[in-house]
Structure 1
Amino acid sequence: MAKKQSSAAKAAALKAKQAPSLLSVDPVVDPVFAQGAIRSYLVTDPAPTLLKKRSLLGSNEWILIAVLLVASYYVRMYNLSYPKSVVFDEVHFGGFARKYILGKYFMDVHPPLAKMLFAAVASYGGFKGDFEFKSIGDYFPEGTPYVLMRQFPALLGIGTVLLAYFTLRSSGVRPVIAFATSFLLLVENSNVTISRYILLDSPLLFFIAASIFAWKKFEIQTPFSAGWFKSLIATGVALGLALSSKWVGLFTVAWVGLSCVYQMWFIVGDLSVSAKKVVAHAFFRGSILLGVPALLYLFFFAVHFQVLSKEGDGSAFMSSAFRAGLEGNSIPKNIIAQVGLGSTVTIRHIDTQGGYLHSHEHYYPAGSKQQQITLYPHLDSNNKWFIEPYSNLTVYNETFVPLTDGMKVRLKHINSGKRLHSHDEKPPVSERDWQKEASCYGFEGFAGDANDDWVVEIVSHRTPEGEARNNVIALTSVIRFRHAMSGHYLFSSEVKLPEWGFGQQEVSAASSGRRALTHWYIETNENPMLSQSEARIINYPKLTLLQKFTESHKRMWKINQGLTDHHNWQSEPQEWPLMLRGINYWVREHRQVYLMGNAVTWWTVSSVIAVFFLYTAIQAIRWHTGSQIATDKNVYNFNFQAFSYILGWGLHYLPFFIMGRQLFLHHYLPALYFGILALGHFLELFTGYFLARSQFLQRFGLGLVTIFVALSAVFYINYSPLIYATNWTKDQCKRSKAISTWDFDCNTFHGNISEYSIDEAASLTSASKIADDLLKKVEEAHETPVAEPVQQVLKVEEPAAEDPVAEPVEEVVEVIDVSAQ
């Protein structure tokens, strides 16, 4: 019995000795080349042992993963309840979550998934939408589950760290180096900051990380196996989630697409793969990697439209047809279809969404100084126009005369009695030679003149076939108004009038410009010449999902392109790899939240990317001179994986150079994630290849990696007051400004740490006093008669009808501009 136990112990010891350690494991296999009739070729099917080599090793490796989990949980969850007020873009994304809960339609430049997830978390926490997230610094009241809402991105931040580890293991990095690289992400200051607040960046980065991991798992699967299909579908799903959170996900789709093209090049050249399998590769990769994200993207927008079923502040950006499908809308209904002489109409501009042709009894300060013509986005009696004949010889007061293509008419403003007019004057704001002023002109008893005459033209290519192309039909016919004397067309672009024009949209008469900006349609129509039996009633058609989807994307793109105003905390793409400045998130109570990266990690990533470009150039020269390159399996895997990740870095970074909108440091974070993964392969090559020939050198190399990770951790700790808004002194702050462009404000902080204790004591005293005062007021309320509320209501004044109303796009740009989208 004792001998059997001794034999078993020896076998177990031998097995343990033979099992690879966390450092000695070899996750790389030799590339296989075969000889064809004319040339050699790379065998693209993964080696049967590759998947096993890159699987987790057991309990020892799970310990590393557990350490990452516990450490990242502490780093990202620490004191999430502070600040107890709105931070940075929580103004927007907390506010959007509120609107989902209330069901009120809003407009944003980002797809809906991440915002809907925040809304779901808030709803789970009991949020009823009673806090508006109106301004940075607004304190959260009791009942707003802001901590729970912040925990959601924090959990996704933890998941991103773990995904980085699993991704590196799948791409051929040993456990110890994968752990060190993931730890760099764990203590990367900017990644910690974005994962602590109600922002879209953490969900986006998590879904991008999931896409990369799924793709790397796919690369090591046997083609057309169950694991291959599973990983391919998982990649498609993750890409769909990333794309549905932010349009940056398009860059990740492009990365997977180019990786596919790169791999297909070698598959086509692999003579062991039949033509049938090549076609199958192309079909399954293309259909799943494009089809699944597209379907998910459309599905989440369908949910978005379903949830936001009520009128809201974003409705003004949408067409009347879109708004007609929202609950509580004020869009006109049951409109008489036939438009004719004697009709009282409202005329809506199509392409700018500026609103209705409008006039009011205010005058241009220069030019003709006649009554203003504008576009006004809201329903108003000043939008009403009377269609009358250009000549009194035309009889229309006894019978209905339809408005036809080519008919000359005049448009009389109902409220002022003046007519739509144009003449040889420059418009009030635009100074192009091809634009002339449009105004309202006339006086009591004046019959009008030739400058009041306009020819109605039906735009056939934008009007459905049938009657609407001959006779003007409300809601259906797209029309133009040509000034009979000058040949100019009634025109409007997004140019706004200054304060004297109430910020409304300029209307002019134009001989050039984009043709679509001269297109209008009749929205409301009343004509006393039509009896009830003769009048056909029409309404806006119910839009399909694809029509809503298309219209919302046009608006999103337009608003996104309009974010061009200068922002105090914006930065340029060329500054990001050097991390020259950050973003101020929150300043209050002598504390600050300031987004900045971990300079140790950040600058090292930038350095290794520059080194890789130099290395690639040298290798290309060597290859052209006939030298053999990448013959070692470790170098071959490094080349393949580093190229893949740096391609991802470039695709998520370089497009920002051609964008005209405001840009901020956090736009670089997806590219940085790819860079950190590339850094992991540099560390792997450094410790596992160049130093593997000597155990001493390898240990020395691992020591250098340890020191590097420790320096990164020290940087994180030193600058953590800017992440967590904890106590810091002015002197500590000034000593921490390694470069002058880091513009966090050292004057924010106290001169001495002890002053924070005084503040806290004063805050407690103040809170106690407020509670006492409130208690006294409650007691007094039982004895004091309450004033009649009607008296207060009577003091409220109704806004004047002509109060300045900002055009919707300006309104949103202003809201978005207060912080960085």
Structure 2
Amino acid sequence: MPSKTDGGHQGSDPRDPVPDLKTKRGPARSYIVTEPPKTLVETRTPTSSKEKLVIAALVVIAATVRLYGLSRPDSVVFDEVHFGGFASKYIKGIFFMDVHPPLAKMLFAAVGSIAGFRGDFDFEAIGDKYPESTPFFFMRLFPSVLGIITVLLMYLTLRSSGVRIPIAFAASLCFAVENSFVTISRYILLDSPLLFFIASAAYAFKKYELYPQGSWPSLKALLGAGISLGMAVSSKWVGLFTVAWIGLLCVWRLWFMIGDLSKPVSKTFVEAVRKLVFLLGIPTILYLAFFYVHFDTLTVYSDGAGFFSSAFRTSLKGNTIPKDILADVGIGSVVSIRHIATMGGYLHSHDHMLEKGSQQQQITLYPHLDGNNDWLIELRDEPNTAVSSFEGLTDGTAIRLKHVSTQRRLHSHDHKAPVSESADWQKEVSGYGFEGFEGDANDDWIVEIDQAASAPGEARARVKALETKFRLKHPLMNCHLFSHEVKLPKWGFEQQEVTCASQGKEHLTLWYIEGNSHPFLPEDAERVSYKTPGFFAKLIESHQKMWHINKNLVEPHIYESKPHSWPFLLRGINYWGHDHRNVYLLGNPIVWWSVTAFIGLFGLIVAYELISWQLGYKILQDPKVVNFHVQTIHYLLGFALHYAPSFLMGRQLFLHHYLAAYYFGILALAHALEVGVTYTLRRREIYGYAIVSAMVAGTAYFFLSYRPLIYGTPWTKDLCEKSQWLSGWDYPCGNYLSSYEDYEKYDREQAEEALKPATTAASSIVQNVSERSLQPADEDELDVDAIMASPGLKKFVDQNGNEIPADVVRDVLGNGGSVVSVEHRSHTDIL
């Protein structure tokens, strides 16, 4: 390939962003000089006023498409249910469980709080109308602004990697109006912040490559990359793939630095250490810091804590975890028994029967504290015998467990398990017997203390609450009490199945005592409590639960899709539908399929070049072609690292999981357009620009044609049906009206309905109550003023969801009178 030795020089055009490859002659071989030319920064950084105007135009276009009609729909869209709800919980400090790291959710909470949100709306269901007290516009404005900046970052990244202004603008313009990216940046979703941080990391690292090693600008760029990586990983674990991408680029760069004979090895070593600190150390510190804030903010106990261990839950305010528990467990103790290895919780029974097998009483795991978790420990040979003293449980003690509230004993026999019936090694566990019944051999269990899992000391010799881990062996069936991540159907209240297993993983047969009382232990008997975990213990447990829950999200979903279908855009995701309008996530096939086609084409190009090289032909002779290959490989490596892991995931997946990989694919496609215009068609550049212009025009046309799916605006049934190029594009055309005139009529009728006097609506509802046509939740009388003064209850609505002012209700009811009952639904009273 052509090169300039002993100094080299920039290409013939000093404004060319792709310089000649600089090499020097060493004692034994030529080597590549890894220090970039001093002029490289100038040619790849926007400095001219004309280019700044180009950037301004790009930002205006991106802002226009992302901010248009941002307040519509004025109801909850798709996963705003989750992430808006989490923001509400952050504001109120209520603990919750989510499979994603906390940063992006905390940012939404911060934006909402600044805009005046007080967490009084729970985002319970898609389509729930936002009340005036919820600043959803500002919460949506945050991801929209990040989406606008991401468009700018794409342009700057392309310029930093050697793409000229016209092509960088064209590619970024296509990205600015790419339907899927516009859609995900308009709602309270994690995707826009995640892509912003990934794009920031990519830009910062490409900027870093332009500066001499160890220079102040290179250190600032490396620091920016490290911060961006930390924020990406702290938003979603997808950011780990970005860390891996930049890590491999560092290995690539260090490989050539080692071969650069003009650099001492010590300098290369210092650079390697610097990258470790900036690109791994800083992200780790940020990740830990955001989790610290997460734990420090969410301090109020809630049902969401049920996923965690009792020890973890003791750190939350208002928890009901037992404290000062009697340590010694014996015959006659009433205990609650907790499973160790799953999140199912406590050994539980209730007065409901199995619908399969023996049809005896259900035995399950239940995650909450409840009287139905209480069991009386009886000696096997002395059932129904009242104890007169304390006798401890030791390894090998034969016992029976009587359910306190129903008087049935824990029982197993030769029946198949109710759900895991295909597994011959699992037998049914049930509750059997009646009050006064002495039981039979199928009620017998032998205590087996696990020496390794139990705390050192007495807990390994006899059963002690919290500290002893044990198994319960059924001697007749030769199996152990067992549970796993399998739920009973609705008839079993979807609680976790308990069986008796003769095989299976041993840790799934381990139990321990949490609650414990005994009539003959003195008040000053030894007591134990959970040790409140520190930050790192909570961090480790949180990640265990996050990983466990994430990999078990395997329930089928109507809009899930498989990774192999994503490059072909075979289907999208329905986000919202109401009032004959829809929001549907769909990519722009002009860009989408171009990326897919280019990836296949690039593979053929590389294969052809390798064969040509083997046959002795010269390849990679032009600096533009070299830069095209280097940058394309960089970006396609990013594509592969963000896409390939999806094939290893067993959980439910959706089209939006492809978007991070797709971003890198667009960067690679831009380099294909660049080399096509500047090298392949350099004698006929006008044809190259015509192709690029046609691509931009096609992308913009598709965006404009399908914008009703982005903005949730009116569309006709006929236009919708014609737009469904593929059968998988399953947005519901039947929901649309036949003409735009029908929409005007429909909207007018809706407006008139909303303007009906509130007094009429209130009078009607009060009449309904008096006629008992509604089914009240209770028979208490409720005072209007008392309702309005109660915490969290802010408004009255009729059955159609229309708000009725309290003054109107008060007037209708007789100036402060009462009404027969209201139905309580979270923060709303429905008359």
Confirm or deny a common fold (TM above 0.5): yes
Q: How big is each residue's C-alpha offset from its partner over 1:319-369, in whole Å with a ceiling of 9 and x where there is no partner?
A: 111111111112112211122222111101111121211223333345444
SS at match of 1:552: helix
SS at match of 1:490: strand
Q: Mean Cα displacement is larger for which, 594-603 or 755-764? A: 755-764
Q: Which of the residues 270, 275, 290 maps onto 2:280? A: 290
Residue 564 of structure 1: aligned partner: 554
Residue 501 of structure 2: aligned partner: 510
Q: Which of the residues 802, 807, 821 maps onto 1:792? A: 821
Q: How does 1:250-265 map to 2 (within 5 A)?
A: 250-265=240-255
Q: Normalising by the residue count of structure 1, what TM-score does the alignment of the two structures yield? A: 0.90
Residue 677 of structure 1: aligned partner: 667
1:729 aligns with 2:740: no
Q: Which of the residues 138, 142, 146 maps onto 1:156? A: 146
Q: Distance in 2 between matches of 1:575 and 1:388?
A: 59
Residue 486 of structure 2: aligned partner: 495
Q: How big is each residue's C-alpha offset from its partner over 1:357-388, in whole Å with a ceiling of 9 and x where there is no partner?
A: 12233333454444332222222222111222
Residue 747 of structure 1: aligned partner: 734
1:375 aligns with 2:365: yes
Q: How does 1:390-539 map to 2 (within 5 A)?
A: 390-392=380-382, 397-431=387-421, 432-533=423-524, 535-539=525-529
CA contact (8 A) 2:151 2:175 kept: yes
1:243 is matched by which residue type in structure 2? V
Residue 262 of structure 2: aligned partner: 272
Q: Distance in 2 between matches of 1:182 and 1:406?
A: 72
CA contact (8 A) 1:345 1:385 kept: yes
1:747 is matched by which residue type in structure 2? G
1:700 is matched by which residue type in structure 2? Y
CA contact (8 A) 2:11 2:19 kept: no
Q: Normalising by the residue count of structure 2, what TM-score does the alignment of the two structures yield? A: 0.89
1:171, distance to aligned residue in structure 2 (A): 0.5
Residue 15 of structure 1: aligned partner: none
Residue 807 of structure 1: aligned partner: none
2:494 is matched by which residue type in structure 1? G
SS at match of 2:756: helix
- Aligned sequence identity (%): 52
Q: How big is each residue's C-alpha offset from its partner over 1:58-114, in whole Å with a ceiling of 9 and x where there is no partner?
A: 211111111111111111111111111111111111111111112111111211111
Q: Distance in 1 between matches of 2:317 and 2:551?
A: 30
1:162, distance to aligned residue in structure 2 (A): 0.3
CA contact (8 A) 2:349 2:431 kept: yes
Q: How big is each residue's C-alpha offset from its partner over 1:401-450, in whole Å with a ceiling of 9 and x where there is no partner?
A: 32223333222222233332333333233232222222333344443444
Q: Which of the residues 88, 100, 110 maps onto 1:120? A: 110
2:67 is matched by which residue type in structure 1? M
1:348 is matched by which residue type in structure 2? R
1:386 aligns with 2:366: no
Q: Mean Cα displacement is larger for which, 250-259 or 554-563? A: 554-563
Q: CA 1:139/1:418 → structure 2, altered by over 3 Å: closer, same or farther? A: closer
1:191 aligns with 2:178: no
Residue 93 of structure 1: aligned partner: 83
CA contact (8 A) 2:157 2:203 kept: yes
Q: Distance in 1 between matches of 2:614 and 2:236?
A: 42
Q: Which has the higher contact order (CA 8 A, sep 6+)?
A: 1
Q: CA 1:720/1:397 → structure 2, altered by over 3 Å: closer, same or farther? A: closer
1:264, distance to aligned residue in structure 2 (A): 2.2
Q: Which of the residues 618, 622, 626 maps onto 2:612? A: 622
Q: CA 1:774/1:381 → structure 2, altered by over 3 Å: closer, same or farther? A: closer
SS at match of 2:714: coil
Q: Distance in 2 between matches of 1:785 and 1:299?
A: 56
2:744 is matched by which residue type in structure 1? S
Q: Distance in 2 between matches of 1:196 and 1:115?
A: 15
Q: CA 1:455/1:680 → structure 2, altered by over 3 Å: closer, same or farther? A: same
Q: Distance in 1 between matches of 2:762 and 2:554?
A: 51
Q: Distance in 1 between matches of 2:386 and 2:533?
A: 36
1:658 is matched by which residue type in structure 2? L
Q: How does 1:26-45 map to 2 (within 5 A)?
A: 26-45=16-35
Q: Distance in 2 between matches of 1:741 and 1:796?
A: 41
Number of aligned positions between the proteins = 773
1:691 is matched by which residue type in structure 2? L
CA contact (8 A) 1:25 1:174 kept: no
1:168 aligns with 2:150: no
Q: CA 1:196/1:769 → structure 2, altered by over 3 Å: closer, same or farther? A: same
Q: Which of the residues 725, 731, 736 maps onto 1:738? A: 725
Q: CA 1:596/1:468 → structure 2, altered by over 3 Å: closer, same or farther? A: same
CA contact (8 A) 1:177 1:680 kept: yes
Residue 698 of structure 1: aligned partner: 685
1:344 aligns with 2:342: no
Q: Distance in 2 between matches of 1:276 and 1:69?
A: 44
Q: How big is each residue's C-alpha offset from its partner over 1:453-498, in whole Å with a ceiling of 9 and x where there is no partner?
A: 3222222222222222222221122111122334311111122223
1:691, distance to aligned residue in structure 2 (A): 3.2
The unaligned stretches of length 5 or more in structure 2 are 1-9, 764-803, 826-831
1:762 aligns with 2:753: no
Q: CA 1:52/1:366 → structure 2, altered by over 3 Å: closer, same or farther? A: closer
SS at match of 1:675: helix
SS at match of 2:402: strand
Q: Distance in 1 between matches of 2:712 and 2:282?
A: 41
1:581 is matched by which residue type in structure 2? R
Q: How does 1:305-324 map to 2 (within 5 A)?
A: 305-324=295-314
CA contact (8 A) 1:114 1:203 kept: yes
Q: How big is each residue's C-alpha offset from its partner over 1:258-305, in whole Å with a ceiling of 9 and x where there is no partner?
A: 212222222222223322223223222223212221221121111111
Q: CA 1:725/1:369 → structure 2, altered by over 3 Å: closer, same or farther? A: closer
Residue 363 of structure 1: aligned partner: 353
Q: Distance in 1 between matches of 2:295 and 2:267?
A: 41
Q: Which of the residues 625, 636, 648 maps onto 1:658? A: 648
The unaligned stretches of length 5 or more in structure 1 are 1-18, 798-821
CA contact (8 A) 1:341 1:396 kept: no
2:495 is matched by which residue type in structure 1? Q
Q: Distance in 1 between matches of 2:35 and 2:359?
A: 78
1:796, distance to aligned residue in structure 2 (A): 8.9
Q: Distance in 2 between matches of 1:140 and 1:203?
A: 23
Q: How does 1:640-659 map to 2 (within 5 A)?
A: 640-659=630-649
2:354 is matched by which residue type in structure 1? Y
1:117, distance to aligned residue in structure 2 (A): 0.7
Q: Distance in 2 between matches of 1:102 and 1:314?
A: 14
CA contact (8 A) 2:208 2:218 kept: yes
SS at match of 1:425: strand
RMSD of equivalent CA atoms: 2.5
Q: CA 1:450/1:790 → structure 2, altered by over 3 Å: closer, same or farther? A: farther
SS at match of 2:414: coil
1:132 aligns with 2:119: no
1:630 is matched by which residue type in structure 2? L
Q: Distance in 2 between matches of 1:162 and 1:493?
A: 49
Q: CA 1:705/1:497 → structure 2, altered by over 3 Å: closer, same or farther? A: closer
Q: Distance in 2 between matches of 1:653 and 1:630?
A: 28
1:525 is matched by which residue type in structure 2? N
SS at match of 1:667: helix
Residue 14 of structure 1: aligned partner: none
Q: CA 1:457/1:718 → structure 2, altered by over 3 Å: closer, same or farther? A: same
